[in-house]
């Protein structure tokens, strides 16, 4: 059984709902920021972000898949050429919903949904947890190792390929400094 | 079909309706202009949310 879509059902029929969401997505990419009801904004967010992800891929197949939803070719061009490059280093989360309170008339809760600005600094996913751990281990090994062994370990590390550089010295000289460290602990105790 | 046997007295009607009360809307002070606003929503006075201008005023 397929997982039901999260959020409210819009319009009078599935076709109407599809049309509402497609029009909202088109206007969002045209203007960058639109005011709508909270329910519609919440339904629009996943659709708009999937379209941006397709635009980031940028090939002809992705363009045709986007054109199936956003019928306006000018908007699709703008999405692929101007909007998608802005989010090259952003791993998802391209839209922001801000609630702005009830509407006059029917008191429907309204919201502003907008495309977020360009990410200035690279996302924090740069040095991963494992890489940081390896670097810390490397620093510890170099601090514990005697002066004559540390350059040798570094030289060994340079021979290995770049992507393995963080881990290789640890395994290459892992035994000796580890033994030394235990010896020091016992001496102190 | 079951129907009421007696007319409901004015007193009973009024004491029932006396419990229809509106509750005050919860508000939070805007961090920019300190005016009361809905929590988790942009301020309608200065148009900011989370230090970011959302609405043009």
Q: What is the mean pLDDT of residues B15-41?
A: 94
Question: What ranges do the domains of chain A cover?
Answer: 14-115, 126-188
Higher pLDDT, B56 or A72: A72
Interface size, chain A vs chain B, as Cβ–Cβ contacts under 8 Å: 22
Q: Judge whether B56 lies within some domain.
A: yes
- Give the predicted TM-score (pTM) of the model: 0.68
In this prediction, residue A163 carries a pLDDT of: 52
Nearest to A173 by CA among A147, A152, A158: A152
A7 within 8 A of A42, measured Cβ to Cβ: yes
Handedness of CA B30, B32, B34, B36 (dihedral sign): negative
Which ipTM did the prediction report? Answer: 0.79
Cβ within 8 Å of residue A38, ≥6 positions away:
A97, A99, A108, A109, A110, A111
- Profile chain A (189 residues) by mean pLDDT over runs of 10 residues: 92 96 97 96 96 95 96 96 94 95 95 91 61 77 65 50 50 47 47
- Could you tell me if A101 lies within 8 Å of chain B, comparing CB atoms? yes
As for how many domains chain B has, the answer is: 1
A112 CB neighbours in chain B (<8 A) are 42, 54-55
Q: What CATH number belongs to A14-115?
A: 3.90.1030.10
The residue in chain B having the minimum alpha-carbon distance to the alpha carbon of residue A110 is: B41
Domain span including residue B31: 24-57
Pairing between strand A109-115 and B36-37? unpaired
Cβ within 8 Å of residue A76, ≥6 positions away:
A63, A66, A67, A70
Q: Under an 8 A CB cutoff, do A99 and B41 touch?
A: yes
Q: Judge whether B33 lies within some domain.
A: yes
- Could you tell me if B40 lies within 8 Å of chain A, comparing CB atoms? yes
Q: Under an 8 A CB cutoff, do A101 and B38 touch?
A: yes
A98 CB neighbours in chain B (<8 A) are 41-42, 49, 52, 54
């Amino acid at each position: 059984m397929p997982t039901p879509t999260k959020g409210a059902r819009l319009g009078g029929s599935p076709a109407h709902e599809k049309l509402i969401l497609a029009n909202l997505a088109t206007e969002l990419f045209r203007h960058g920021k639109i005011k709508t009801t909270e329910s519609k904004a919440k339904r629009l967010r996943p659709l708009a972000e999937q379209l941006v992800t397709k635009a980031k891929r940028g090939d002809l197949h992705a363009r045709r898949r986007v054109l199936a939803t956003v019928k306006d070719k000018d908007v699709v061009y703008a999405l692929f050429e101007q909007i998608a490059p802005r989010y090259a280093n952003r791993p998802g989360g391209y839209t922001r919903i801000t609630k702005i309170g009830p509407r006059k008339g029917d008191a429907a809760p309204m919201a502003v949904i907008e495309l977020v600005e360009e990410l200035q600094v690279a996302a924090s996913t740069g040095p991963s947890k494992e890489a940081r751990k390896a670097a810390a281990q490397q620093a510890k090994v170099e601090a514990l190792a005697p002066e004559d062994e540390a350059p040798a370990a570094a030289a060994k590390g340079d021979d290995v390929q770049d992507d393995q550089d963080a881990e290789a010295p640890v395994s290459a000289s892992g035994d000796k400094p580890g033994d030394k460290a235990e010896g020091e602990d016992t001496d102190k105790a | 079909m079951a129907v009421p046997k007696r007319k409901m007295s004015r007193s009973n009607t009024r004491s029932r309706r006396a419990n229809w009360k509106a509750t005050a809307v919860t508000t939070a002070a805007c961090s920019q202009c300190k005016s009361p606003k809905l929590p988790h929503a942009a301020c309608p006075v200065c148009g900011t949310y989370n230090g970011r201008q959302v609405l043009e005023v």
